[in-house]
Amino acid sequence: MIVIDKSKCVRCGACMRDCIVHVLTKGEDGYPAFRKEDERFCLNCQHCLAVCAHGAVTCNDVGFGETLDVEQIPDGRAEAALLRQRRSTRQWRDDPIPEEVWTRLVDTLAWMPTGCNDHRLHFTIVRGREKMDWYRREVARTLQKLVRTRIPQILFPKFRRYMAEIMRGDDVVFRNAPCMIVASTPKKAPCREADPWIALSYFDLLAQANGLGTCWSGFGVHAFKGMRGIRKALNMPRGYEVGAVLLFGVPAVEYARVPHPRPMSVEVQ
């Protein structure tokens, strides 16, 4: 339900123009009118609310009072430097993550874009080495049992190096990280493939911009999909599946230089 406060509305039409599903149309008096019959199409994206400079819009009970002030964002140069300089971290310090950074990281998750603005994404955050060690032990136990059957060596000969590391007790799945965030979605979410990766990509950049190290765990995704015990420990809502896993913590490595990667193939048409 979108409510327009006519005492504040200047009839500029900005809310109507920015409504992707056209639930706001011009009424006979020139004020935006909410089409009740089309309410089901509203994505609750709050563009109508955000674009209104006069505080005239209330979108699904959220009004001007709950919106945030627009702040300075990093300029293009700083953002490009962040993208070039973010590295995967696999060496960690046991220093605690400052509370202020925790709060910023966790609170910002609500702003992650999702297909159809589906806010049913679920995040499980495992905070601290002790809790991570439980996942490490469970995964190592299962993987070592599996490697001992010698079946993985036949099925996945390319991964033999990892199998040797697993048998040696190396943590190839969680890379000894002190923390992890797992993003999961309902199995029938409209963009279940993309949403978790996008959300954690943003989290990745934000974490690195706040001085933390991060590392994707593709192996972690497979581990959660294949191992019921650790999956259950994530406490995901019923009907959810794991989408993406990102490890993070205070890094114990600093990079003096920016690598020079092989260019990706780009075609501009």
Contacts of residue 60, Cβ cutoff 8 Å, sequence gap at least 6:
1, 2, 42, 44, 46
Size of the site for ligand FMN (CB under 6 A): 9
Site for ligand FMN in 196-225 (CB under 6 A): 215-219
Task: Tally the C-alpha atoms within 13 A of residue 73's C-alpha that lie toward its C-beta.
Answer: 6
User: According to the binding rule CB under 6 A, does residue 175 interact with ligand FMN?
Assistant: yes
User: According to the binding rule CB under 6 A, does residue 108 interact with ligand FMN?
Assistant: no
User: According to the binding rule CB under 6 A, does residue 82 interact with ligand FMN?
Assistant: no
Least Å from the CB of residue 146 to ligand FMN: 17
Least Å from the CB of residue 102 to ligand FMN: 23
User: According to the binding rule CB under 6 A, does residue 87 interact with ligand FMN?
Assistant: yes
Q: For tokens 């079946």, name the residue.
A: 151
User: According to the binding rule CB under 6 A, does residue 136 interact with ligand FMN?
Assistant: no
Least Å from the CB of residue 87 to ligand FMN: 4
Q: Which is nearer to ligand FMN, 177 or 189 (CB)?
A: 177
Residue at shortest CB range from ligand FMN: 218
Q: Which is nearer to ligand FMN, 161 or 238 (CB)?
A: 161
User: According to the binding rule CB under 6 A, does residue 143 interact with ligand FMN?
Assistant: no
Least Å from the CB of residue 175 to ligand FMN: 5
User: According to the binding rule CB under 6 A, does residue 174 interact with ligand FMN?
Assistant: no
Q: Which is nearer to ligand FMN, 114 or 176 (CB)?
A: 176
Distance CA 22, CA 174 (A): 46
Contacts with ligand FMN, residue ranges (CB under 6 A): 87-88, 90, 175, 215-219
